[in-house]
Chains A and B, each alone.
Chain A
Amino acid sequence: MLRPSTSIPRRGRGPLWRDPAIRALVAQAVLLIVLALVIGLLIHNTLLNLEARGIRTGFDFLEGRAGFPISQALLEYTSDSTYGHTFLIGLLNTLLVSALGIVAATLIGFAVGIARLSPNWLLSRLATCYVELFRNIPLLLQILFWYFAVLRSLPSPRQSLSLFDAFYFNVRGMVMPGPETQAGFSATPIALLIAIVVTIGLVIFNRRRQAQTGQRLPVGWIGLGLIAGLPAVVFVLSGSPLHWNVPELTGFNFRGGVQVLPELLALWVALSVYTAAFIAEIVRSGIQSVPHGQVEAANALSLSSGVTLRKVVIPQAMRVIVPQMTSQYLNLIKNSSLATAIGYPDLVAVFAGTTLNQTGQAIEIIAMTMAVYLVISLVVSFLMNIYNARVAIKER
């Protein structure tokens, strides 16, 4: 019979340098001292160097007059604006191309990823070729290709290539119809907002009702009708206060419409095409990660194929897809800094480029630029961890 021993004889602790706790303390103390020394030395050197070169320090420069134009500004900007403004304009341009890229890359990526699983041999081979071609070529090379080899070799505005007589492509980029709002237009977005809120409320109500009574409303159709219908009705009732400003060729250039920089186009196309190749692989592996037995079990329960897809396959595939997809989105945002190679005025090109060259305050500017990307990454990783904790398989 086993009896718990009443007392375990306490072993001698042995020599001090064998004690793991003490060894850990010593190791950490050494690390701390070395780190402090290295950082102190770096700061010392930097201060000496800055003084020797006569570079000012501090963030006062942000108030200074920038004195250079930026080719694309989403906010009011002139050469008289401050360096602080250049930071903001650059940041917004980075966010613009990132948002455009994320949308396009997701759409292309999902299409290609699903095509790779197609039973059609040709289609799946075509998708494979796409993935293998674009993910094995450096992004910078693709950006340069689209910019210098494709967009810069388009004809002059007078011989523009036109698409539907509304979009015109030429060496100066793309001209497309721009919306021009008139008085009373603000009612339409408000209506859209109301429709969305009502739809969300309806979905919640429907879910509760189904849990209690087992009956459900065709909430998808109602929501679609609300979101599309209500703004449309309000738009017509308020007298269609939106006018499309279609570009027209007058003389040597276009008048009217919205001018899109060729740099933006090249960067957008390259980022989307490149990232889509990675997203396609993620989507494929996500869908393949759902065991086939899951679908068979759903069939055995006589769920329809639509319900099987929505309630069985996609939620499980998403568990694999979403975390990897987020890291691709982060990569895309970070990769958008390659804009500087073709002169798209993003954060790195404007702020860490021109502003740095003019002020010479490398440390502050590089730190601010890195901080922006770091904050975006950390916030997204934080949200991702919350999401992961929510969707993780609940185990006892």
Chain B
Amino acid sequence: MTAFREQMIAQRQPPDQRRGVIGWLRTNLFAGPINSIISLIVIAIAIRLLWPVIDWAFIEADWVGNSREACTSDGACWVFISARWNQIVYGFYPEALRWRVDIVFAIFAALIAWLIVPKLPAKKSVGIFALIGFPIVSWILLLGGMFGLDHVPTRLWGGLMLTLTIAAVGIVGSLPIGVLLALGRRSKMPLVKGVCVVFIEFWRGVPLITVLFMASVMLPLFVPAQMEFDKLLRALIGIMLFWSAYMAEVVRGGLQAIPKGQSEAGAALGLGYWQRMGLIVLPQALKLVIPGIVNTFISLFKDTSLVLIIGLFDVLAIIQAGLTDSDWLGFAIEGYVFAALIFWVFCFSMSRYSQYIENRLNTGHK
């Protein structure tokens, strides 16, 4: 007689209490008395807060119509948004010329999609087009005044289109300046280093508002009187300089993480400074700090809303202006919630993308 079994016992399921919905509930929500009380309180808060919001935003809301008379119920009046939809997207851009904005939007969306979907080929040439070709094309299309396109002055720009323009110019402009500043700050030449340190610390030490004020009241004083400075251009210069300082600090973090041996090996191969930086150090450093760069992009995107204060009409300013329209008084919550939704969607997707990239590029560097 053998003392051991010759066949495996069939696996048994864990006890009922430990699996399925009940098991999950027991481990995650009701493990112990304190935990259970917390769960109940959270559920109560969620129901108290969430239900009125859902009720207001969806169930009781008015969706169709074109004047405030359409809003008869107690809920949200989304008619306010749909009636102003064109303004929110295009600002005061002439109606007949909006197809130009649409084309820019379409190219922009296509480029973004191409760049973020990992499987698509020719990333490099698409990237170069996005950084150099696309800005020129959109500048020609949006501003006009050449190739037979009507000129549209920037004071007519507004809404989502202006927000995206400011964000894109800020992002494309501040990254290269930031890289140069970061390299300068690590330079061995005392004067170069000093200038970069002062520049970076100055912009990082002051609020963006004062920078925008400076750009709008002081920049015209700095240039010869006959030179006209566009209001949007002034704001863009301020935003670019301001964010390049933040970008420089992010890039510097990446540069510091690259071992000195990399650059020294490059020098041993006879590479000059710019070759070492461009071919060896920067590609590694920038890859390391992609999450930091994207986070700076997110902050930049959020802070484009500050141009409201110097009188440009971005998404928030257009909605804010719409709230004071005497035909549509009293829809402040709808307006702000919608503006918040726009910004939130952009920022949240950027932060998710940055996390995804971080995981994908996780090459073991710490």
Chain A residues near B (Cβ < 8 Å): 24, 27-28, 31-32, 35, 42, 45-46, 48-50, 52, 118-123, 126, 132-133, 135-142, 144-145, 148-149, 152-153, 334-335, 337-338, 340-341, 348, 352, 356, 362-363, 366, 369-370, 373-374, 376-378, 381
Contact = CB atoms under 8 A, between A and B. Distances in A.
A144 B320 contact: yes
Nearest to B340: A137
A137 B344 contact: yes
A284 B347 CA distance: 21
Nearest to A148: B332
B217 A140 contact: no
Contact of A49 (B43, B189, B220): B220
Interface stretch (B54-62, B119-127, B208-216, B253-261): B208-216
B191 A31 contact: yes
B220 to A, nearest CB: 7
Contact of A141 (B192, B205, B316): B316
B224 interface: yes
A45 B227 CA distance: 11
Given A24-B188, A341-B309, 15 more contacts: A28-B190, A35-B195, A120-B28, A121-B29, A123-B38, A140-B306, A142-B340, A145-B333, A145-B336, A148-B323, A340-B209, A366-B217, A369-B210, A377-B205, A377-B206
B154 to A, nearest CB: 21
B105 interface: no
Contact of A136 (B43, B298, B309): B298
B305 interface: yes
Interface in B169-219: 188-192, 195, 201-202, 204-210, 213-214, 217-218
Contact of A133 (B190, B298, B316, B344): B344
A131 B9 CA distance: 49
B217 A141 contact: no
Contacts of B217: 356, 362, 366
Contact of A363 (B221, B303, B332): B221
Given A46-B222, A366-B210, A141 B189 contact: no
Contact of A149 (B205, B210, B336): B336
Chain B interface size, as a band, is 35 or more
Chain B contact surface mostly? helix
B276 interface: no
14 contacts: A45-B222, A48-B225, A49-B221, A122-B39, A141-B305, A144-B316, A153-B332, A348-B209, A369-B210, A370-B206, A373-B205, A373-B206, A374-B206, A377-B205
B223 interface: yes
6 cross-chain pairs, A with B, having the tightest CB-CB distances, nearest first: A377-B205, A121-B28, A136-B347, A334-B207, A138-B302, A374-B205
A99 B163 CA distance: 32
A378 B298 CA distance: 25
B308 interface: yes
A251 B190 CA distance: 70
B38 A140 contact: no
B38 A363 contact: no
Given A123-B39, A337-B207, A340-B309, A362 B195 contact: no
Interface in B34-69: 35, 38-39, 42-43, 45-46
Most chain B CB within a 10 A radius of its CB, from A28, A31, A138, A341? A138
